[in-house]
Amino acid sequence: MSSETNLPHDIPGANFSSAPQSRVADPEVLDTTHGPILYLEGVTVSFDGFKALNNLSLYIDDGELRCIIGANGAGKTTMMDVITGKTRPDSGSVYFGQTINLLELSETDIAQRGIGRKFQKPTVFEPLSVFQNLELAMAADKRVWTSLFAKLTGAQRDRIDEVLTIIGLTAERHRRAGQLSHGQKQWLEIGMLLMQNPRVLLVDEPVAGMTAQEVERTAELLQSLGGRHSVVVVEHDMEFVRSIANIVTVLHEGSVLAEGSMSKVQNDPRVIEVYLGE
């Protein structure tokens, strides 16, 4: 089932340096030589005649931090579902790099190949400590027997420490996850995603329900991930989007309405009409 040996992980990018040399396209290896890491082309999804996605085309560059905004029903969540394999489109193509066809892979396979998704409601393992949560999420052999005798190596400890620093929970490492604040749980969950060394992080409404300080902290966190990971953020909170985004994509009725810098998008009359309206 799981071809964990092919996992594109450890130091992001390190496994792929040899890929461009080979002329033969190897569908097992992530190829981002042309820039984008995610290709969605002409994707259409309809539910009972209602087109949740309508001929959507979208490209996410390797290492980019992209915000996706749009009104309710614009297709944001459906788009995430398509990328993670939860929903199969009626037509169109979805590629991870230039060679990996995501429409042929199961949800687990997609997750293992390095597309991580953070859901709206944080689910961390509450009885376990922050450290243990990260340990369990770590990309590793997850079979029963290995788990029984598993010991953390120095490198794995370092990796957990590193992620603890990134998500700013070093001081909370021994606290039970159930005792964390809502915002801390969200960061822990982002940390758990990072432990799986994803190339692409899909983050669904990360700042819903957060305090102003937590929002600020989350913005810093997501920005710090750019470069090493491609991050796609779906968010309603315009202030937040303004504070982190380089490029914003506005979805409307299942397709891209506008794309560009925040200021460009904000001044687009069509966007003002259908969404921003402020």
> Which residues of the shown chain bind another protein in the complex (CB under 8 A)?
2, 108, 111-112, 123-128, 132, 135-137, 142-144, 147-150, 192, 196
Which residues in 205-239 are b (16+ Cβ under 10 Å) and which e?
A: bbbeebeeebbebbbebbeebeeebbbbbbbeebe
CB 92, min distance to another protein, A: 25
Compare residues 55 and 132 and give the one whose CB is closer to another protein. 132
Using alpha carbons, select from 61, 12, 71, 23 the residue that is nearest to residue 195: 12
Q: Quote the CA–CA distance of 196 and 200 in Å, as a whole number.
A: 11
CB 128, min distance to another protein, A: 6
User: Taking a C-beta distance cutoff of 8 angstroms, is the pair 185, 122 a contact?
Assistant: yes
CB 70, min distance to another protein, A: 25
Compare residues 59 and 125 and give the one whose CB is closer to another protein. 125
CB 3, min distance to another protein, A: 12
CB 2, min distance to another protein, A: 7
Compare residues 1 and 171 and give the one whose CB is closer to another protein. 1
Tokens, residue 201: 């992080």
CA dist list (Å): 19 to 14, 77, 95, 98 = 10, 32, 16, 11
Compare residues 49 and 127 and give the one whose CB is closer to another protein. 127
- Please, which residues bridge with residue 100 across strands? 96
Q: Quote the CA–CA distance of 39 and 36 in Å, as a whole number.
A: 7
Other residues' Cβ atoms within 10 Å of the Cβ of residue 183: 19
Q: Quote the CA–CA distance of 5 and 204 in Å, as a whole number.
A: 29
CB 119, min distance to another protein, A: 9
Amino acid occupying residue 177: A
Q: How many residues does the chain have?
A: 278
Compare residues 146 and 170 and give the one whose CB is closer to another protein. 146
Compare residues 88 and 121 and give the one whose CB is closer to another protein. 121
Using alpha carbons, select from 218, 129, 136, 121 the residue that is nearest to residue 178: 129
Compare residues 24 and 148 and give the one whose CB is closer to another protein. 148
CB 147, min distance to another protein, A: 4
Amino acid occupying residue 40: L
